[in-house]
Amino acid sequence: MLHSKLAKAALPAALLSLAVTAYAQGTSGGTSGSSSSMNSAPAKSASKSGSSKGSLDHADRKFLQEAAVGGLAEVEMGQLASQRGESPDVKQFGQRMVQDHGKANDQLKQLASSKGVDIPTETDKSHQKKMAKLEKLQGAAFDKAYMDDMVKDHKKDVKDFQKQSKSAKDPEVKSFAAQTLPTLQEHLQMAESAQKTAKSESKSAKSSKSATNSPMSK
């Protein structure tokens, strides 16, 4: 009789123990699930942030594309000047354009490729017209026209590269502009010096031609 009473008393205690255990397991599982959910949110955010990597600011993209066109034109006209130039200064300047802008163009291609930017592979209509004009000239007339173009182009280049070396959003684009700028500034100084020589020679050529065609010389 006593044994039966003890068995009945033990049954509620056993049920209570099972209930406590089940509650503890449920609480543990809920906490684990909540922690997993919190950890997944930052991962999703990081993935979203990573997808925007490689996008380039519009101004930076435009700068790379315009610099590519200008660089191609400098090489093309430089090749022509090294062959057709009359003055040694003009020939030498043309060779420097081929050498320096050829190197800068290669660096620009690599940079643009790493940023997912498509850059032109040929010059634009404006530069093509300049090239066509130069191809029709020779002697002192060619030297003057070529150096006039080079001074004008490099003044613009120096201005553009100075701006990007300070205001470019992308650090690599800014670095490229800053590293290229000193070379362009040197080119401008060389161009202005050669331009003075070309102008002087052009005036001499015109004076000589005028004297040859005058009635007094016949």
Answer yes or no: pTM beyond 0.85.
no
Q: What is the pLDDT of residue 200?
A: 86
**15 belongs to a structural domain:** no
State the CATH number of the domain containing residue 91. Answer: 1.20.1260.10
Q: What is the pLDDT of residue 204?
A: 76
pLDDT digits (tens, 9 = 90+) for 148-161: 999 999 999 999 99
Q: Which residues contact 83 (CB under 8 A, 6 or more apart)?
A: 94
Between the alpha carbon of residue 98 and those of residues 32, 75, 105, 170, the distances in Å are: 66, 5, 10, 28
Instruction: Count how many domains the chain has.
Output: 1
Higher pLDDT, 210 or 38: 210
**41 belongs to a structural domain:** no
**9 belongs to a structural domain:** no
pLDDT digits (tens, 9 = 90+) for 25-81: 544 444 444 333 333 333 333 333 333 345 899 999 999 999 999 999 999 999 999
**35 belongs to a structural domain:** no
Domain containing 68 equals: 58-203
**180 belongs to a structural domain:** yes
8 Å CB contact between 201 and 90: no
**27 belongs to a structural domain:** no
8 Å CB contact between 157 and 101: no
**155 belongs to a structural domain:** yes
